[in-house]
Structure 1
Amino acid sequence: MTLAIFDLDNTLLRGDSDHAWGRFLIENHIVDGEEYERENERYYAQYQAGTLDIMEFLAFALRPLALHDRATLDGWHRRYMQDKVLPMITPAARALVNLHRANGDTLVIITATNRFVTAPIAEEFEIPHLIATEPEERDGRFTGKVAGTPCYREGKVTRLKSWIKEQGLTMQDSWFYSDSHNDLPLLSIVDHPVAVNPDDILRREAQQRGWQILPLR
């Protein structure tokens, strides 16, 4: 069965869900606005530049989850979906997913953003499989730490290969859609790599390698 694998941020979404979650926390006075905004922007710039220390960033990004109970977090997330996420979902993104659905492909979102933020987004797209960075939980609460390998850069390849083995699937005829040069390790091993609204580095790589470039906005 063919795998159709989608990056989430700036690919299926017209924006970054992790960054937008940070903005939501700031706007609703859940975190210290000035300090958190400064750090949120700093880490986002590092991600775009390809210099992000993923463990350092996750220590920052997962900390607010550890400070509140799950019911409170889930309530905030429902508002976040309405205020931030739904406006970032375009008809073109839904159409792309539905095209692969109609073909009978296995649909997967793979994202560096943590599962708490992204699981409801995958549900909104009706994509049944999500491979995301896993926030550690203990006794029904998040600890602020990461469980397992972060789903970032080469970690995406590691996590995908492990998931494929568990599912009894193969990479044959696989598709992967991404906007970011951070996903070059995974784009390089699928049969159909597609650069979606690519950043400058990925655009150059896609042009040199003859990969499809897809404007999705």
Structure 2
Amino acid sequence: MRSRWEAHRPFGMSIAEKRLNIAGEASAEMAHALYEAAQDARDRAVPRDLTAAAFFDVDNTMVAGASSIHFIRGLAARDYISVRDMAGAGWTQLKFRITGKENSRDVASGKEKALSFIAGRSTAEFTQLGEEIYDELIADKIWPGTRALAQMHLDAGQQVWLVTATPVELAQVIAKRLGLTGALGTVLESKDGKFTGRLVGDLLHGRGKAHAIRGLAAREGLNLRRCTAYSDSFNDLPMLTAVGTAVAINPDSDLRVVARDRSWEIRDFRTGRKAAKVGIPTALALGALGGTVAAIASRRAEQ
């Protein structure tokens, strides 16, 4: 239980706020370093529009469903984690999908479980598995409409970043597969090529995402007023309000209300996902569990 001092500090940030800031700064630093390394290695052309960028949430914005659950399914199928751990994570996600609200105790519990089964694991192995699982379970869950929006920013010469609570190693896999600039994600502490079982700061969530975007903007020379952010969730309001243009993608009920009140673009690709047609957002135009268990059981039966 948090002490009164931890819960509220009238003359400074709370411990939770400090962790979110640390998480955002660590994510921005890693994302920038990986981007610079990729440019050196591939000799990428410099974007034509150097001060504008687009930031996309992942779950239910770029990917149908929760990317973490898709990855967990793949890890469980490879005996990387137990079916029991997978079921627990699935139940937490199910409650979120039904209620539209994130429970802080569920988030904390899920974080502890995730860190416990990843401690001591190889970072290289984790990334390799992420690539396999993306191709197997996530590739066909990308929203065509959202992907088209990201491509418009790329065609305009702008950087395009994913921003997610998913571990940065896995977020980078998604960004790479989609041909995006990179990803801001939760940074898992590692030493000598293995995860320690601790986070750098906290999950990249809520205000942490906004801090990460600001940190990246400072490193890349971006003008946040010329940037665009996309999300489905009211929880991402700090990120959406950190930039000049916000677009609600497949919004939850709370975000839909905010978007309407603030005259933000709303794009919903949930009906007929495979045939979704994308329209250019006005601001952009102007500016230029059962199936999872069965799958695992089937795999084990084949062994």
The aligned amino acid for 2:69 is: H
Q: Which residue of 2 aligns with 1:51?
A: 103
Cα drift, residue 161 of structure 1? 1.1
* Correspondence for 1:148: 201
Corresponding residue number in structure 2 for 1:21: 71
Assess, with a 3 A threshold, how the Cα gap between structure 1 residues 142 and 205 changes in structure 2: closer, same or farther: same
Aligned to 1:194: 247
Is the aligned partner of 1:12 residue 2:55?
no
**1:24 Cα deviation from its structure 2 partner:** 1.9
Partner of 2:167: 114
- For residues 26-175 of structure 1, what are the structure 2 equivalents within 5 Å? 26-42=76-92, 45-46=95-96, 48-52=100-104, 54-175=107-228
Q: Distance in 2 between matches of 1:44 and 1:79?
A: 25
Mapped partners of 2:263, 2:124: distance in 1: 48
What's the CA shift string for 1:167-198, capped at 9, x where partnerless? Answer: 22221221100011110112123221110001
Give how far 1:214 is off. Answer: 0.7
| Runs of 4 or more above 4 Å deviation | 53-56
Instruction: Quote the offset at 1:46 in angstroms.
Output: 4.7
Deviation at 1:34, TM superposition (A): 2.5
Work out which of the two has the higher radius of gyration on C-alpha atoms and give 1 or 2. 2
Quote how far apart the aligned CAs of 1:3 are.
1.7
SS in 2 for 1:11: coil
Alpha-carbon distance in 1 for matches of 2:231, 2:137: 21
SS of the counterpart of 1:8? coil
Listed as ranges, the gaps of 5+ residues in structure 2 are: 1-50, 274-303
Secondary structure class of the residue paired with 2:64? coil
Find the aligned partners of 2:131 and 2:218 in 1 and give their Cα distance: 33
One-letter amino acid of the counterpart of residue 51, structure 1: N
Deviation of 1:35 after TM superposition, in Å, equals: 4.1
Secondary structure, in 3 states, of the residue corresponding to 1:9?
coil
Higher alpha-carbon deviation: 117-126 or 86-95 = 86-95
Per the normalisation by structure 2, the TM-score is 0.65
SS at match of 2:59: helix
Aligned length: 217
CA RMSD of aligned residues (A): 2.1
Moved more, 41-50 or 196-205: 41-50
- Secondary structure at the aligned position of 2:60 is classed as helix
TM-superposed CA distance for 1:75, in Å, is 3.9
Structure 1 portions without partners, runs of 5+? none
- Structure 1 residue 5: deviation in Å? 1.0
Report the TM-score, using the length of structure 1 for normalisation: 0.89
CA distance in 2 between counterparts of 1:21 and 1:98 reads 24
Other-structure match for 2:24? none
How many Å separate the matches in 2 of 1:89 and 1:102? 19
Structure 2 distance, partners of 1:202, 1:110, is 17
Q: CA deviation at 1:215?
A: 1.8
Alpha-carbon shift at residue 60 of structure 1 (Å): 2.1
Q: Is the 8 A contact 2:247 2:267 kept in 1?
A: yes
Asked if the contact 1:149–1:159 (Cα under 8 Å) also holds between the matched residues in 2, the reply is no
Higher strand share: 1
TM-superposition CA deviations, 1:7-48 (whole Å, max 9, x none) = 111111122111211222233333221243124422563584
Which is further off, 142-151 or 93-102? 142-151
